[in-house]
Every structure is written in C-alpha cells, then in structure tokens.
A and B are shown apart, each in its own frame.
Chain A
C-alpha cells in the first residue's frame, strides 16, 4: 500500500535562500509525527509544501500515491490561529462547516447531512458544547479544537497542523496532543504536527521529524533527539539534556550553564524546554 504522505528530494527556496534541500520521507496512515526544529528551519514551509501551498524548486510530494494538488479533500489543514475580534459573528458550527464546503460558491444549505457531518466532527474533538458559541470568545484551546474539527470534517487521509500548541496553557496543550494522537490512531490519518517544544509529544508522537540547517532527521523520538544525530544536522556540537523526564536541546556554544542556553540568540541556540 502507498504511504499516506511521501516526499522525495524535496527542495524549497524563497528567492535565493534555500529553506531546505533534498528531503525524503514517508508517513504512513495512522502515524503521528511531530515536526521539530529551530525557528526558521522551515517547519511550517515543509507543511505547506506537503499541502501543495508552496511549490518546491525540486522534488515531489505524493498524497496516497498521487501528486499533491490544490482543491484537495484528502488533506485537512489546521493553520496557525489568527487573532479574531471577540465579536466575529461566527459560531463553532459555522467554522467547522467551512471546512466542509467553504470553498464553494453561495450560501450553505442547511441539509441534514451537513448538520450531521458537522456534529460528528465536533464530537470527535469533544466540542459539541462549543457549536453555538462565538469563536472570538473561546479560549485558545477551545478554538484550536474547533480548527481541528474544521480540518477533519471532510474526512481527510492526511492531517497537517501548523503550531497548534502556540499560546496554549499546559492543560490545553496536553488535551490537544492527546486528541491529535487519538485522531491519528483511531481515524487512521497520517498526522504531521509542527511544534516548538518536544516535551508535550514525549510518549504521544510515534515519530519525530527534526529539521535544522536545511536537513532533516526522522525516526523514533529517542533515536532522533540524540547529540550525535542533532550535531550531524546542525553541523556543530549539540547537547540533549534530560531532566525529570523532560528534554532540552541545547544547540550552539555551551559553557555548561543553563542560563547561557536560554539567553543565547535564537540563531545560535535552540531551546526545546
């Protein structure tokens, strides 16, 4: 069987700047992969290239064995959440409905099938109680769950989430990651989730795809987050610190002091606290 997502020799450039080059990988249906890496490593760009939103200068992306294309019902996409006015006259139900037929012309017709599909998606993310609330008045975690429902309502084979954990409190973070894990395993979706921090993914993501310096490493978390693997990616020594079940990746010059890691500039140092 074809992998749900496969990309070969993928290279993306913005102007003269190459974001990453010659990436090759596969994600199977039912697999939950966390995408990690420093700022500017191209995590979101990789997601967009897989979704067909960014045209690679070289290489190809296949979804279910077919070249990726626009107007794709096989892909559910959770964008970075936008700042909304609290008075936006749009309810949870409206937002999820857009995932179903938001690309079509005219107004949506209130059919039974439409209502049932929206209810099912809301139920999948435990958000039936948010159906009639205005989305501008919800918490970050609640809105994130609705955006996920918006992405899965069309029953996609592939779910792509761009920084869904940003600005979430710890409880919501764990809730969203658990939800995504369940969607991947029970719904047999191939899931890519872009995150800053590895810790919420420990024990939940099946694999980690680590992007740095235009290259990637992919595999089980304990195989990827190792000093020799990451040093190979970055091209200079990187340390992986473990403390109390938590992982900190310290890239760049280290003098052994934790504060030196956290206060270094983003280019020189990567923290995944």
Chain B
C-alpha cells in the first residue's frame, strides 16, 4: 500500500504535523536529557502528565492544561526535593504521588478504558487542527527554554564549579531542563502518549551521541532521527493499523542499536588506521 495515500485525509495531515513538532522537540531536548543523565525524570514526567490529563477529564477542562499544570507541579516538586535528597529518590517519590492521584481521578471520573488508553498510548489520529497549533506552540516553548540555556546546561555538566564562578548555576540549568521537559510532555501526550514519549526523548538522542562529536551535530542528528522514526511510525501505523507508540518504541531502540554498531565499526577502523 502506498502510505502517501494517508495525506488525502485531513486527520492524517494533522497527525503528521503534530507528530513532526513533537519529534523535533523530543529530539532536541533529549540531547540534554542524555547529556545530564536525567533520563529518570524524562521517564517520570510523562507518566505524571498522564495523571494530570485524567484529572482534566474528570474536571472537564482542557487536557493540555491538565497535563501542563501537573507536569509543572511535578517538575517543581522534583527540583525542590532534589536539592536536599538524591534526584532519583525525589523523582520516584513524585512519580508515585502523581500516579496515585491519577488512579484516583480515573476511578472518580468513571473513565472508560478507551479514555485511559488514549492518554497512555496517544491518539495521534484524533488531533484536531487547533490541537496542531497547540502542539506547535508548546513544542516551540519547550525548545526555546533549552536553546536559551544551551551553554549553561553544557557548562554545569562538565565543570560545575567553574560554571558557578562565571555565574552559571547548576540549579538554574536543572530547573530549565525540568520545565522544558514538562512542556514537551504536554505536547507529546496526545501524540505518542504517556507511556512511550520517553522512548522518543531518549532513543534518538542516545543514538546520536554515538555518532556525533560536537553538541550541535548531536542535536541535529537527534532531531533528524526523531523525525524519521516518527514519520515511519505514522506510516506503519496507518498502513497496518497498529498503535503509533509501538512503532516509535521499536524504531527508537533499533536506531540506538544501529548507532552503537556503526560507532563500534568506525572505532575499529580508526584504531586499525592508527596502528
């Protein structure tokens, strides 16, 4: 089947646009997530966003608003707790709290399994044209944050005290990345869902760092991989009728494995060349 047939349908065009914005944001932000080793927070925030979305369904407000609010509170909570305790412990605690309230919202709201399913696994083919605009704006805001703090995020990772002497604090960098993650989560939720947005945040960025030498190369490669994975997943999902998230998760893992293999092969070649 020719996958380009899908562009005949407005819902498919909306899905394609929304997924593309999300892919760029995830690929870009994922670079910093991998660099700073905050993968657990990147894993937790979308799940907490899921609880926010189920709360929004319960109270009858815009689900994007619910996700944003919940992610923001969670990001603040993780940031505040991590100043005193270990970050992973803080993240786990906030994650458990978020999921707990999510379970409450789902049960109080008598939500059907289908509603929960679309939050958990995304419902990209149900994105409206206003949804596309929302997704674009939130993705752009998430990217703007990490772009603004690009150098601070790098500097505080490799030479924390040196950065602090110059006025770049690790705490600022942490907050910026968490806030950006929260925003990206809100944008990704309707497209790939709470459970699988993590794979798009981490998979392409992890794959890119095996091949790139410099930050901008890693970012460009991560975004490119993320876009290819997302587009392929949409086509496959459209053609086979399987969930988008399944393909996103599989292709992200595949990209990572391939990048490792390529990097290892290249490394062997340069070693042989040097010897």
Q: List residues of A whose CB falls within 8 A of some B CB.
A: 48, 51-53, 70-73, 75-79, 82, 84-85, 87-91, 94-95, 98-99, 101-108, 132, 134-135, 147, 150-151, 154, 162
Contacts and interface: CB of A to CB of B under 8 A. Distances in A.
20 contacts: A53-B164, A72-B165, A76-B162, A82-B159, A84-B158, A87-B210, A89-B208, A89-B212, A89-B213, A94-B214, A98-B154, A99-B159, A99-B166, A102-B166, A104-B151, A105-B148, A107-B147, A107-B216, A134-B213, A147-B159
Given A51-B161, A79-B159, A88-B209, A103 B214 contact: no
B130 to A, nearest CB: 31
A98 B159 contact: yes
Contact of A103 (B35, B161, B163, B218): B163
A76 B166 CA distance: 9
State the main secondary structure of chain A at its contact with B: loop
Nearest to A99: B162
Contacts of A75: 165
Interface in B78-120: none
A134 B263 CA distance: 14
Given A72-B166, A75-B165, A105-B149, A89 B217 contact: yes
Given A53-B161, A102-B154, 18 more contacts: A51-B161, A70-B164, A70-B165, A77-B161, A78-B162, A82-B158, A89-B35, A89-B208, A89-B214, A90-B214, A90-B215, A101-B151, A102-B155, A103-B155, A103-B166, A105-B149, A105-B152, A147-B162
A98 B215 contact: no
Nearest to A80: B161
Nearest to B219: A89
Given A106-B148, A107-B150, A132-B213, A95 B165 contact: no
B150 A79 contact: no
A56 B147 CA distance: 35
Interface in B237-263: 263
B165 A77 contact: yes
A138 B208 CA distance: 20
A73 B216 contact: no
Contacts of A99: 159, 162, 166
A88 to B, nearest CB: 7
Interface in B201-228: 208-210, 212-218
B273 interface: no
Nearest to B221: A89
B250 to A, nearest CB: 23
Contacts of A87: 209-210, 263
A131 to B, nearest CB: 11
A102 B165 contact: no
Contacts of B168: 102-103
Given A103-B152, A105-B148, A107-B151, A135 B166 contact: no
B226 to A, nearest CB: 16
Contact of B151 (A106, A134, A150): A106
A90 B158 contact: yes
Contacts of A104: 151
Contacts of A88: 35, 158, 209
Contacts of A73: 166
Contacts of A77: 159, 161-162, 165
Contacts of A70: 164-165, 167
Contacts of B162: 76-79, 99, 147, 150-151
